[in-house]
Structure 1
Amino acid sequence: MAPLPIQPAQYQTVPLTRINLQNDDFRITTCEDVEDLLASIQHAGLISPPLLIKQSSAYTIVSGFRRVAACRKLGWSEIIARILEPEFNHLACLRLAIADNALQRPLNLIETSRAFQKLSSFSGSLKQLAETASKCGLPTNHSIINKIKGLCRLPLPLQNSILNDTISLSMANELAMLEPDTAVDLARLFEQLNLSLNKQREIVTLIGEIARREDISIRQVLAFEAFQHILTDGDLDRGQKGRKIRSFLRQRRFPRIVKAEQYYNTHIKKLKLNHEIKLIPPKEFEGTTYTLNLNFTSLTHLKTIQSMLDEILQHASFKKIVEDKDPHSDKGD
C-alpha cells in the first residue's frame, strides 16, 4: 500500500455526545457488533483512539466506529480521540478510513465495495478510480472493480449471503441482474440448501428457463407446490432436498429427456449389467448411437462376456432400449 501523507492529528478528550453517530461518510467496516471489544477496552482502554474530524459543532468519525460504539455501550461519557484539522479534505479522510480498516484485517467483499463506491465520487472514470484505489491498497484490475463495486448496493440479505460465503462473487453478480426480491429468494434458498456454486448455477439456469418457457416469473417457479413440498419436508436433510429440487426442476424443464431417461433406467435395471458391460445412451437421448463398453482381463474372460452379451442381445429390455427410439413422443423441450 502506498504510504499516506502524515497529517497533524491532535489527541483530545471528546464528549461522546458530540460525536455524530449518524454520519457514515467514512464507514468501511460491515461489522457492527462490539461485544468482542468490550472486555479489551475495559481492561486496557483505547489502545488505538478513534480518528475524528470536527465539522460544525460535532465530530464525524473517520475511523473507529466500533470503538466509539463500544465506549458508549460501556457507559463512558468521553474518550480520547485523534482529531484531524477541519480543513483536512474528504478524499484524504476516506483514504485514511480505508487504510485504517485494511491494516487491521483484509477487507471483505462488501467493505471493498464500499471503498470503491465512496472513492468513485472523486473519480471521473474507471481508470481514475483504479489509480485512486492503488493508493489505498485496493484491487486495480478494471474487471474486478466492476464486479465488486456494486455489491454494497445489493439488498442487505444478499450482502449477508456474500459475507457468510453462501454465495460467491460470480453468483452475486448473476443474482444482481434479477429483480431484488427474486435475488433475495434465491440467496435464501442457497443458504437453506448449502449448495455449491455449480449447483447454484444449475438451479438459476433451470428456474430461469422454466420461467421463460411457461411465461411466468421466477418467484412463481419457486412457489410451485412440489418445490415447496420438498423444501419443507422434515424427513429430508439439506443434501437430499438439493438433489430432489434439482431433479424436479430438470424434469419440469426437460420433460421429454427426463421421461426418456426414466424409460432407459427402468429397462437397464432389468438387464442386470455388471461392471464388465456398460451401455451408454446417446447424449441427452438425442440420436441413435449407443456405446457399449466391455471390461475384461483375458481372452477367456472376453469369451465369458461374449456369452453374457449374447443373452443381453436377446433380452426384451435391450430391444426396447435400442429399437424403441422415442417411447415418449411429446416434443415440449
Structure 2
Amino acid sequence: MTTDFSAATSSQMVPVDSIDCSPGPYCMSFGYDLNPLILSIESVGLLNSPILLASENSHRMVIIAGYRRIQALKRLRLHSFPCRVFPASALDPLHCLLINLYENLSTRKLNDVEKAMVLARMGNLMPEKTIIEQYLPVLDLVPRRDIFLLYKNIAGELGETGKRALAEGRLSLQAAKMLLDLDKTARDEILRFFSNLMLNMNQQRHLIDFIMDISIIENRSVPNLLVDPSIREMETDVRMNAPQKAKAVMKWFRKRRLPSVVEAERGFKKSVSELRLPDGVRIVAPPFFEGPDYRMEISFRDGRQLAKVLKDLSTIKKLVDIGNPQEKER
C-alpha cells in the first residue's frame, strides 16, 4: 500500500482553531514528555509539518500525524503553523493510520501502550491474520495470536492508571498480563497499591500471586485485604522510602501466604549461624524447601586458602544435621 503525497497540498499555514486537536482515530502517542519537543521547536523551529485530513462533515481538520507537535505548538501559544493537508476523499482510515505508524517508527520506538493503541485500531480496519503476520513484527512483537490479544486487551481494559504505569516502566508487561486476568475492582485496587511502592518485575509478579492466593484462602476481597491495618501502616510509614516499603510489604505477604516456609527459613538460618562457618562460606537452601539439593558456596583467593577452608569444614560435626528444620520435627 502506497500513499500519493502529491495529493496533499504543499505546506500551508493552518489556524489552530481549524484543527480538531483531540487525539483522534489515528493518534498513537501515550505517556510522553512534551518538554524536549517544545525546546526543539523553540531552538530550531518546526522541522516536520503535521499532516492533516480535511473533514467532509466538519470545518475542523483531523490529525493524521503530528499530534504531539500540535500540542507543543499550542503550548507555545502559536495560533497558526505550517501543515500538509490531504483532501477528505484522498485517504481511507487505514492509509491514515499507517502514515502515522510509519512516521512514528521512523523517529522513535513505541512503548507498549502505544503498540496496543495501534493494534486495537488496526483490529477495526483489517483481518486479524494480517495484523498478526504483517504488523506484529513491524512493532518488534512475536507474531502470535495471544500476543495480539494481550495488546488488544491492554488498549481496551487496562485503564488509565495501568496504562500510564506500563508506559512509564513502573508496571511490567508480565504484571499487566496478570492483572488483565482479574476483575476490574481487584485490578484497580492492586494498581493503586503498586503506585505507593517501588517494585521490580519479579516483586510485582510475586506480589500479585500472593494477593490473589491470600484473597482466595481467607475469603476476602482484594480491596478488603489491601486495607489491612498492617499494610496501611507500612504504606504510610514516613520513615521508609519506596524501596524499603516494597521490601517490608513483600516480607509481610510472603509470611502471610507461606507461614510454614518462612518459619522453616528462620530455623534454617539459625541452624546455619550456629555452625560458625569459616569466612567466605555460605549454605543455601532450595527455594521454598521444595527441592532435595542444598548448595554450599566457597569464596577463596588461592588453593592454600581453599585447603584451609575445607579442613575447617571437616571439623564441623553438625554439618550432617543441615536440612529442613520442619522435617526434623516430624
Question: Is TM (by shorter chain) over 0.5?
Answer: yes
Q: Which residue of 2 aligns with 1:217?
A: 221
Work out the CA distance in 2 between the residues paired with 1:23 and 1:297. 66
Work out the CA distance in 1 between the residues paired with 2:251 and 2:279. 26
Q: Which residue of 2 aligns with 1:41?
A: 41
Q: Which amino acid aligns with 1:150?
A: N
Q: Which residue of 2 aligns with 1:255?
A: 259
Q: Is the 8 A contact 1:62 1:97 kept in 2?
A: yes
Quote how far apart the aligned CAs of 1:202 are: 1.6
Q: Which residue of 1 aligns with 2:8?
A: 9
Q: Is the 8 A contact 2:31 2:168 kept in 1?
A: no
Q: Deviations over 1:57-108 (max 9, x none)?
A: 2211111112223333333332221111211211111111111222121111
Q: Which amino acid aligns with 1:98?
A: L
Larger radius of gyration: 1
Q: Is the 8 A contact 2:197 2:245 kept in 1?
A: yes
SS of the residue corresponding to residue 54 of structure 2 reads strand
| Match 1:113 to one of 116, 124, 135 | 116
Distance 1:44 1:299, change over 3 A: closer
Q: Which residue of 2 aligns with 1:22?
A: 22
| Match 1:89 to one of 69, 72, 92 | 92
Q: Does 1:194 align with 2:198?
A: yes
How does 1:248-327 map onto structure 2 within 5 Å?
Answer: 248-274=252-278, 284=288, 302=311, 308-309=316-317, 312=318, 325-326=329-330
| Match 2:163 to one of 159, 162, 182 | 159
Q: Is the 8 A contact 1:119 1:133 kept in 2?
A: no
Q: Deviations over 1:20-52 (max 9, x none)?
A: 123611111115654333344345443321111
Q: Which amino acid aligns with 1:244?
A: A
- Tell me how large the CA RMSD over aligned residues is: 3.8
Work out the CA distance in 2 between the residues paired with 1:95 and 1:74. 28
Q: Is the 8 A contact 1:171 1:197 kept in 2?
A: yes
Q: Which amino acid aligns with 2:151?
A: I
User: How many residue pairs end up in the alignment?
Assistant: 316
Percent identity between the two aligned chains = 22
Q: Is the 8 A contact 2:31 2:164 kept in 1?
A: no
Q: Is the 8 A contact 1:203 1:246 kept in 2?
A: yes
Q: Which residue of 1 aligns with 2:302?
A: none
Unpaired runs of at least 5, structure 2? 299-304
Which deviates more from structure 2 when the two are superposed, residues 140-149 or residues 217-226? 140-149
Work out the CA distance in 2 between the residues paired with 1:107 and 1:130. 17
Q: Does 1:230 align with 2:234?
A: yes
| Match 2:101 to one of 75, 89, 98 | 98
Q: Which residue of 2 aligns with 1:331?
A: none
Q: Which residue of 1 aligns with 2:148?
A: 145
Q: Which residue of 1 aligns with 2:65?
A: 63
SS of the residue corresponding to residue 215 of structure 1 reads coil
Work out the CA distance in 2 between the residues paired with 1:35 and 1:233. 34
